[in-house]
Structure 1
Amino acid sequence: MITAIAAFFIDAVIGDPRSNLHPVVLIGRLIAGLERTLYSKEATPRWQMISGGVLVVLVLVFTFLTVNGIMNLVGLWGNSVLTMIVEAFLLSFTISPKSLAAAGKELYGYLLAKDMEQARFKVGWIVGRDTENLDAGEISRATVETIAENTVDGIISPLLFFAIGGVPLAFVYRAVNTLDSMVGYKNERYLYFGRIAARIDDVLNYIPARITGLLFVISALILGFDWKKSWKILRRDASKHPSPNGGWAEASVAGALHIRLGGYNSYFGKVHFRAYMGDPMEDLSPGNIMQTIRMMYTASILFLIISHGVFVVLSVGVL
């Protein structure tokens, strides 16, 4: 797990490079290209699901074989230090703590400066809802929800799958997550074509989401937030989220910070209600964004420490 710690450090210091050669960008291009070939608007729902399943298989197999091939080539040098360095750099592409924190801090700055035009514009980069009429509290809510939920698929999940199956499996997870973000929508185009991608994403995030919820409770204790309330709201409200996994992170954060997440969101002009999580003991404010970022980093470091401890125990047991 030294590799995972190194990868986290690399991302925390350098962050994701904005490049067309970024592995996740390349996976996205692969998905888009295959979608153009496999998707047919005139196909029956059954055939659209089959085509979507073929898309998933092709993307995951190609991703695994490519990353595994790279690691095998590096292994031919017989240099364990070089192998670890390459693994750490590759793994750093699958996690995004710095990007999450940077987005949150940028919005926090705009809100403090009362630059609502920029705040509404930039929050639209990280959420799918309509943002042109959001006030400071709603922008804070959207940002807190995004950071909390993306702690799962942007940090804990890829690190967990790395612990299970190395860098290739971490990239397979990232490919699934990218598939879900591109085709896993319940709209006319993707309702059937993207269904398998969305289901696999739900399955792979099931355990990491629950781990993240518990880590947030522990983080609340460490940071001096209300960990008891975090645990209470986690148990009470996590299942209310429309996603089988999204509520675990959001509910525990809401409880810890004495805020209420969820509520009314507008998508393409249509207002939808999402069940509330947490109790509105305090009004949502920009400060909640910074508190959530602290919880995100604390939960991530806790996961690395615990994972390393488990790895050491298992290694000693094997010896």
Structure 2
Amino acid sequence: MISEIYSNSIYMLLTTLLFAIAIDLLIAEFPVEIHPVVWIGNLINFFKKYFININNKLSGLLISISIILTSSLIVLVPLLLIKHLLYLNDGMIYLFKIIAVLLLSSTFSVKLLLDSASNLRKDLKNNNLNKARKSLSYLVSRKTNELSKEHIISAVIETLTENIPDSYVSTIFYYSIVGIIASLLGLNDFNVIILAILAALIHRAVDTMDSMLGYKSDELYNIGYIPAILDDALNYIPARISGILIVISSGILGLNWRGANFIMRRDARNCDSPNSGYTMATVAGALNIQLEKEGVYTLGDNIHPLKVECIDKAVDITRFTIFLTTIFFFFVFMDLILLKI
């Protein structure tokens, strides 16, 4: 009975995930005109104009509900429409799968994350500090125009590793968990895919809200409070999973996995965010370096100096952590598929 529930829906979840990852690695980001996350950003700006005038935390609750509901339509409208047209011909099944893959691939950004760090590494290698500062300013909230080379390297590694959960692990976590639960409940194969992708998109919507509104400025404190709480809650488990996977990745790559584990346990809570330290501190420990956002946090021990090569190693750790995440869920799906044997 269980094997019958799992068979097709789990297979569809797995193949959709693998094709979505392949598209992200090959294409990176969609054009802004058709990118769902850009649409979500536009929705946030639209609702912000109205709700920001409510001078209390109710504004954050209202915009969170509004964004989650409206952004859900990005998944529900095309997939439900195609689902109801499946009776026309077999080609509609393939159209459903193609749209599902494209929607899922838009919810994470592996290639962009890795390329952003690698491009900044090239600027630093060429001693083009002004270009590196300008490029970095698009990725971090801190002022970058006077950062030293060492602080630029630190900021690159920080933003790269902090975004491991946001850019991939959390999205895949919720896609997989919701998809498996939907399969267990015996839902229609196509409904399973719809719910799984919806979970991934909602995570991306919450993450986008936090990145646009989650600041403690006078203007954004109230409207950004609930989005920031939601983002922290959704990333709580994936961030800690990411930290563990970074420790494992460090060991496989021949880096200081013991130091990674020690620094994660010691320094992960040094950050204001309850989650970001679990990836940043762990990478600092693996590389025996110290990452610092002046006046905010210090992570790791200053055993080795910050050099450009540290970015390369951080990229390697990030890439391998993403690989391990994919392999983990691949085997979870495969085990469930094999239950029918």
TM-score (norm 2): 0.86
2:289–2:302 Cα contact (<8 Å) kept:
yes
Mapped partners of 2:313, 2:23: distance in 1: 23
Paired with 1:2 and 1:140, the residues of 2 have a C-alpha distance of 37
Structure 1: which 4+ aligned runs deviate by more than 6 Å?
A: none
- For the pair 1:219 / 2:219, whether they are aligned, the reply is no
Residue type of the alignment partner of 2:123: Y
User: For residues 72-111 of structure 1, what are the alpha-carbon distances to aligned partners after superposition, in whole Å with 9 as ceiling and x for unaligned?
Assistant: 2233336554433322211111111111111111111111
Number of positions where the alignment pairs a residue of Structure 1 with one of Structure 2: 306
Q: Which residue identity is paired with 1:311? A: F
- CA RMSD across the alignment: 1.6
Deviations 1:191-232 (A, max 9, x none): 112111110000000011001111111111121111111111
- 2:8 aligns with none
In structure 2, the residue matched to 1:122 is 135
Q: In the alignment, is residue 5 of structure 1 matched against residue 18 of structure 2?
A: yes
Structure 1 residue matching 2:147: 3-state secondary structure: coil
> What is the identity, as a one-letter code, of the residue corresponding to 1:151?
I
Residue 242 of structure 1 pairs with residue 272 of structure 2: yes
Q: Which runs of 5+ in 2 are unaligned?
A: 1-13, 179-195
Inter-partner Cα distance in structure 1 for 2:296 and 2:60: 28
Report SS of the residue matched to 2:223.
Answer: coil
State how far apart, in whole Å, the 2-side matches of 1:135 and 1:207 are. 34
1:36 lines up with 2:66 in the alignment: no
* Aligned twin of 1:290: 312
- Name the SS for the 2:289 alignment partner: coil
Preserved contact between residue 104 and residue 293 of structure 1 (Cα < 8 Å):
yes
Matched position secondary structure for 2:34: coil
Structural mapping, 1:297-312, within 5 Å: 297-312=319-334
**2:226 matches 1:196:** yes
In structure 1, what is the Cα distance between the partners aligned to 2:245 and 2:93? 32
Q: Is the 8 A contact 2:155 2:293 kept in 1?
A: no
Task: Answer whether contact 1:2 1:308 (CA < 8 A) is retained.
Answer: no
**Aligned twin of 2:335:** 313
Cα offset for 1:315?
3.8
More RCO (CA 8 Å, sep 6+): 2
2:9 corresponds in structure 1 to none
Other-structure match for 1:155: 168
Equivalent residue for 1:268? none
1:134 maps to 2:147: yes
In 1, are the aligned partners of 2:51 and 2:223 still within 8 Å (CA)?
A: no
1:277 positional shift: 1.3
Correspondence 1:16 to 2:24: no
Q: CA deviation at 1:284?
A: 0.9
Q: Which amino acid in structure 2 is aligned with residue 174 of structure 1?
A: R
Deviation at 1:318, TM superposition (A): 6.9
1:7-64 CA-partner distances (Å, limit 9, x unpaired): 1111111100342321111111111111112221xx44xxx31122111101101222
Q: In structure 2, which of residues 101, 126, 138 is the aligned counterpart of residue 113 of structure 1? A: 126
Identity across aligned pairs (percent)?
Answer: 34
CA distance in 2, matches of 1:81, 1:285: 49
Counterpart of 2:206 in 1: which secondary structure?
helix
Deviation at 1:125, TM superposition (A): 1.1
Q: Quote how far apart the aligned CAs of 1:163 are.
A: 0.9
Are the counterparts in 1 of residues 151 and 292 from structure 2 also a CA contact under 8 Å? no
Matching residue of 2:117: 104
Question: Partner of 2:177 in structure 1?
Answer: 164
- What is the deviation of 1:255? 0.7
The answer for the alignment partner of 1:281 in structure 2 is 303
SS of the equivalent of 1:279 reads coil
